Amino acid sequence: MTLHSKKKKFIQYIKNNLKLFLYRLNLLFNFKKEKKTEIIYIIEKENWSIKWDGEYISNKINQQEKSKIISTNEIPSINPRNKLIHFGSQYMWIDWYKLLPRNKNYVVSFFHGKYSDSPTVKQHIDSFLKSQDSIYKVTTASSLIHQRLLNWGIPKSKLEIIPIGVDTNLFNIPKYEKKFRIRKQLGFQKDDIIIGSFQKDGEGWSEGNLPKKIKGPDLFVKSVEIIARELPVVVLLTGPARGYVKSELSKRNIKFIHIFVNSYKEIASFYNALDLYIVSSREEGGPKAIVESMASGVPIVSTNVGMAKDFIVDGNNGGLVQSFDPEEIAKKSLEILSKQDKEVMVNAARKDVMRADWNNIARMYWNKVYKRGIKNI
């Protein structure tokens, strides 16, 4: 071990111990002040998917069960005694589990990751598997990731499949007049074919000029380029860190609009402007765009990742592509866009996605995870 690596390891050791000291000190001073709470859902600070999901689950559980559940991103302020603590992301769990009491009253949502993704992801997975003795339940959104976790040695009794939910009141099929009005407000022409991509697919939280390859931004751009040879395509983007996609679309002279959203509710209206949504990811936990598109009456084409095969029946309620080939993604997209009976497809999708309404997802969390977990504390 070099002098530099020894120094780095020592600094990390000091940081971890300081983190632990401050955490325990906080618990000591806040123990008597704390309100009675049965479940704590740990969300991320960033105003993005994991934060929104945690808030929906907490709100619905409180409405349905009158249970005392809160969502928070202030991990040091929580008191783990006599509580079920749900980490909404495996990344936050890995950051904190060594500092928490080994009470086995922790729930962790594991969304995605495989050994071949990168050395960093491999290290993360190994750390997660080593921590499993401290976990009461691991939830995952798809049968694909559920099987992967089983293969890695996590007991079936510890695993639950609970899809990412969707607010089917917020995301719904618009009337023609509303769709026309939104498209006009966004500056689209009548004959434009609007393809949506509402995600974060660049590295970091700033410009995102470096592509996050597992999200398939390169596949998305190449697929759209092929579609644009036959149709007047305009791409509608939302989400942070979209620099790579915007740069590559510009190089190909493909029109696009990028809109920064201030709240989750804004996204629903953007779906109402779309003719097609494409998921071109190589790895996913969801994505929630699948259920949002289906609920909004937007034809969806997706690679076979995350929840895709659990919700999409190819040719019936959407398009499912079995490879990461832009030619195949474009071919499936053109096939769906040319359908004369798209209304039949989107109505089937809307019907099939109702099982993922947040009211149903909250009941699944309560019945499969929280109810029994509270009793075991």
- Provide the residue ranges of all domains of the chain, joining segments of one domain with +: 34-165+358-376, 176-355
The model scores a pTM over 0.75:
yes
DSSP for 228-281 reads: HTTS-EEEEEESS--HHHHHHHHHTT-EEEEE--SSHHHHHHHHTT-SEEEE--
How many of the other CB atoms lie within 10 Å of CB of 272? Answer: 20
Confirm whether 34-165+358-376 and 176-355 share one CATH topology: yes
Q: Report angle CA 131, 133, 138 to the nearest 5 degrees.
A: 75
Contact at 8 Å (CB) between 317 and 298? no
Q: To the nearest whole percent, how much of the chain has pLDDT over 70?
A: 90
From edge to edge, which strands make up the β-sheet containing 319-321?
Answer: 255-259, 233-238, 193-198, 276-279, 300-303, 319-321
**47-106 pLDDT per residue, tens:** 788 899 999 999 999 999 877 898 888 776 677 777 899 999 999 999 888 888 888 899
Predicted confidence at residue 45, as pLDDT, reads 82
**313-332 pLDDT per residue, tens:** 999 999 999 999 999 999 99
DSSP for 43-98 reads: --SSSSHHHHHHHHHHHHHHHHH---EEEES-GGG---TT-EEEESSHHHHHHHGG
Look at the domain 176-355 and name its fold: Rossmann fold (3.40.50)
Contacts of 345-349 spanning 24+ positions with Cβ under 8 A? 345/299, 345/316, 345/317, 345/318, 346/173, 346/294, 346/297, 346/298, 346/299, 347/173, 347/297, 348/316, 348/317, 349/293, 349/294, 349/295, 349/297, 349/299, 349/300, 349/317, 349/318
Which one-letter amino acid corresponds to residue 264? Y
One pLDDT digit (tens) per residue for the chain, 377 residues: 565 555 555 566 565 556 555 555 554 445 444 446 789 999 988 878 889 999 999 999 999 987 789 888 877 667 777 789 999 999 999 988 888 888 889 999 999 999 999 999 999 999 999 999 999 999 999 999 999 999 999 999 999 999 999 999 999 999 999 999 999 999 999 999 999 999 999 998 889 999 999 999 999 999 999 999 999 999 999 999 999 999 999 999 999 999 988 889 899 999 999 999 999 999 999 999 999 999 999 999 999 999 999 999 999 999 999 999 999 999 999 999 999 999 999 999 999 999 999 999 999 999 999 999 988 87
Predicted confidence at residue 143, as pLDDT, reads 98
Tokens found for residue 100: 């928490």
CATH code, residues 34-165+358-376: 3.40.50.2000
How many of the other CB atoms lie within 10 Å of CB of 264? Answer: 17
Say how far apart CA 112 and CA 130 lie, in whole Å: 17
